[in-house]
Each structure stands twice: as C-alpha cells, then as structure tokens.
C-alpha cells in the first residue's frame, strides 16, 4: 500500500476520533442552557467534560498538522478557500476554552451567565460549520487549474453542505445528551436520558437524509456499506436511549460518528478535494502529497507516538469515569 493512501487513512482516523470525542463536548456545551436549572447544575454539566475537553481537541490539532505535513497542497487550498468558516471555528473554540477557565473566576451570577453563553455559542458554531465544511469537501468546490479555490463564501452554503451542517449539529447534541445520561446521577441523569430519547428521531431523519443523499450522488459501494452500518448504529442508539442503557447508547452514537466520517473519506478517495469545474483540477492523494521521504519519516513518528497518546487519553477517561451529581459540587 502506498504511503499516500496510508496517510489519507490516518487523517480519516484522526477526524473520526475528533468527531466521536469532541462531538459530545460540543453537545454538552449546547445543552448547558437546556438541561441545567441553576448554576450548580451547570457546574455539574461542565465538570463532566472538564478533565477531557482539551485533550479531545488534540485530535483536531494533530489532524491539521498531519494534513499540513502529508498533503501540503490540500492544506493550503482548504485553508485559503475555507478561510472565513475555519476562522469562525477557530475563534469559537478559543472563546469556548477561555469561558471554561474564566466562568468561575468571579462570584457573580451575571459574570457566569456571560461565559455560559460563550460556551453555548462556542459549541454551536463549530458543530454546524464542521458539517458544512465536510459537506463541501465531499461534494466538491470550484478549483481552477492551479488548484486554487475561485468560488465565494456563499458558494459553500449550498443545500448539501447545509444538510451536512444540520447532521453534525443533531448528532453532536444527541451524543452529548447520551454522554450526560452516562456521566451524571439523580435527576440530571433522568432528564438527560429523556432528552436523548426525544432527540434520537430527529437525528435519524437528518443524518439519514444526508447519508442517503451522499450515497445516491456518489454511488460508492464501499462507502455505502459504512453508511448503512452508521444508520444501524444510530437506530440502535435510539433504542438504547429508550431502554435507558446509557453505556450502549453512548457506544452506538460514537460508532455512528466514526462510521459516517470514515464512509465520507472512503467516498472521497482518491480525491482529497474534488473540483466542480473540471475533474482534472481536483486535488488527489497523489498530486497533493509530500515527498515519499517526508511521508516515511512521519510514519515512523506516528508508529512511536500514537500508542502513547492513546494510552494516556484512555487512562484519563478511566480515572474520571465516575458519575457526577449536585452532591459532588462544593458551595
């Protein structure tokens, strides 16, 4: 197998990990004003992701760095063509991170409410825009013969990409609700479970429409297998939420995101950014990649460091595995 294919697959794995892990972070942030009735309950919700949210964002940083090193032309075209939406995502993530750290610095209700709004907005915007971005990457964008994006910002707001944005939004909210049902106790656990059961049908409709649209448009048999598996996992998640099997529901929503993202990458291959102007203008794993020597060095680095990162992050989740309730929050 060529190293270009290997690194395309590794980048897909990094995005799968990011969506599955950061997805429930975004969901918790968006549910902050919905599930919590007072500041103590908001602190419970924030504390469920407090030890892990910044570690989950490492998957995004590594995915961006790997794309820059393995496929520099893809990185350059993506970040120049999608400059405004990616800038909005970056600012939202920065504001969200600052809000987590600053909301408790003053004993003032108005101060905390302002930062809670920042957490909500900083979770909502990336949840939508990541789906819009991936929708455009899979659909294709206006690339000229020099592999430069010649469209406008509004070209990115096409119907397919918007449905993609709604898909990530609904899946992340559902994933977050299931995570809260798994990580909290008492009344909060009950409310999160009820909300997850109500959100599941909407997620099935929106995500099903997006995956079906993708399958019909691209007609990729292998991608279709992953989409069907993702749909099965999403249906299983809906059933598990009604049965109050939070652990199985969380595994199912996580598997839904993993399978859907991998299906999109399979459908995209061997392109990394198709052109809607002419097929010859498309960026592929071959014309967008670094030199073979660069990919070889990166492969050895990944072989050595990736297991260490996975072990550390797995240990973090194990240490902070217990449920939280209002009784665990000090005055």
- Residues 37-57 have pLDDT tens digits of 888 899 999 999 988 888 899
- Tokens coding 299: 């492969």
CA dihedral angle for residue 31, residue 37, residue 38, residue 41, rounded to 10 degrees = -60
Q: What is the mean pLDDT of the chain?
A: 92
Secondary structure (DSSP) of 172-200:
HHHHHHHHHHHHB-HHHHHHHHHHHHHHH
* Phi, psi (rounded to 5 degrees) for 88: -60, -40
User: Is the link from the previous residue into 270 a cis peptide, with omega within 30 of 0?
Assistant: yes
Range of the domain at 306: 3-328
Q: What is the mean pLDDT of residues 121-133?
A: 95
Confidence of residue 171 (pLDDT cuts 50, 70, 90): very high
Query: Of 119, 120, 155, 111, which Cα lies nearest the Cα of 136?
Result: 155
Residue 195 to residue 187: CA distance in whole angstroms: 12
The pTM of this model reads: 0.94
Cα–Cα distance, 131 to 31 (Å, whole number): 19
| Mean pLDDT in residue range 64-77 | 92
Instruction: For residue range 257-293, list pLDDT tens digits in order.
Output: 999 999 999 999 999 999 999 888 899 999 889 989 9
* Domain total of the chain: 1
Residue ranges in 155-291 assigned as alpha helix (H): 159-183, 186-218, 221-242, 246-268
How large is the average pLDDT for residues 67-80?
92
Q: Does the pLDDT of residue 2 top 80, yes or no?
A: yes
pLDDT score of 88 more than 90: yes
Nearest alpha-carbon partner for 259 in 282, 234, 289: 234
Q: What average pLDDT does this structure show over 23-33?
A: 94
The percent of residues in the chain predicted with pLDDT above 90, rounded, is 69
Tokens of 313: 């992050």
Cα 13 to Cα 5, 62, 208, 255: the distances in Å are 12, 11, 22, 12
Model confidence at 1, pLDDT cuts 50, 70, 90, reads: low
Q: What is the pLDDT of residue 328?
A: 74
The CA-atom distances, in angstroms, between 42 and each of 189, 191, 200, 217, 324 are: 13, 13, 23, 43, 12
Decide if pLDDT at 326 tops 90: no
pLDDT digits (tens, 9 = 90+) for 307-317: 888 898 889 88
pLDDT band at 147 (very low <50, low <70, confident <90, very high): confident
Q: Which two tokens stand for residue 113?
A: 């409410």
């Amino acid at each position: 197998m060529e190293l270009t294919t290997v690194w395309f697959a590794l980048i897909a794995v990094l995005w799968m990990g990011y969506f599955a892990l950061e997805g429930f972070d975004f969901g918790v942030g968006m549910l902050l004003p919905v599930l919590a009735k007072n500041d103590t309950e908001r602190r419970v919700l924030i504390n469920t992701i407090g030890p892990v949210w910044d570690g989950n964002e490492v998957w995004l940083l590594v995915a961006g760095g790997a794309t820059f090193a393995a496929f520099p032309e893809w990185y350059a075209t993506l970040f120049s063509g999608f400059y405004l939406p990616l800038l909005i995502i970056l600012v939202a993530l920065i504001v969200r991170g600052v809000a987590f750290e600053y909301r408790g610095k003053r004993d003032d209700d108005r101060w905390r409410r302002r930062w809670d709004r920042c957490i909500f907005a900083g979770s909502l915007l990336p949840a939508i825009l990541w789906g819009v971005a991936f929708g455009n990457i899979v659909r294709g964008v206006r690339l000229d013969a020099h592999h430069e994006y010649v469209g406008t910002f509004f070209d990115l707001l096409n119907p397919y990409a918007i449905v993609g944005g709604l898909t990530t939004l609904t899946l992340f909210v559902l994933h977050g609700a299931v995570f809260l049902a798994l990580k909290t106790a008492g009344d909060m656990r009950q409310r999160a479970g009820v909300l997850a059961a109500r959100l599941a049908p909407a997620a099935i409709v929106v995500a099903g429409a997006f995956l079906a649209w993708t399958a019909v448009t691209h007609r990729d048999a292998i991608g279709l297998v992953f989409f069907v598996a993702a749909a099965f996992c999403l249906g299983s998640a809906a059933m598990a939420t009604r049965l109050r099997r939070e652990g199985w529901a969380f595994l199912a929503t996580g598997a839904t995101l993993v399978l859907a993202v991998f299906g999109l990458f399979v459908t995209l291959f061997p392109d990394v950014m198709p052109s809607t102007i002419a097929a010859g203008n498309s960026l592929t794993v071959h014309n967008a990649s670094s030199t073979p020597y660069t990919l070889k060095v990166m492969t050895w680095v990944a072989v050595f460091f990736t297991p260490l990162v996975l072990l550390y992050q797995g240990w973090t989740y194990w240490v902070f595995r217990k449920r939280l309730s209002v009784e665990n929050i000090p005055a």
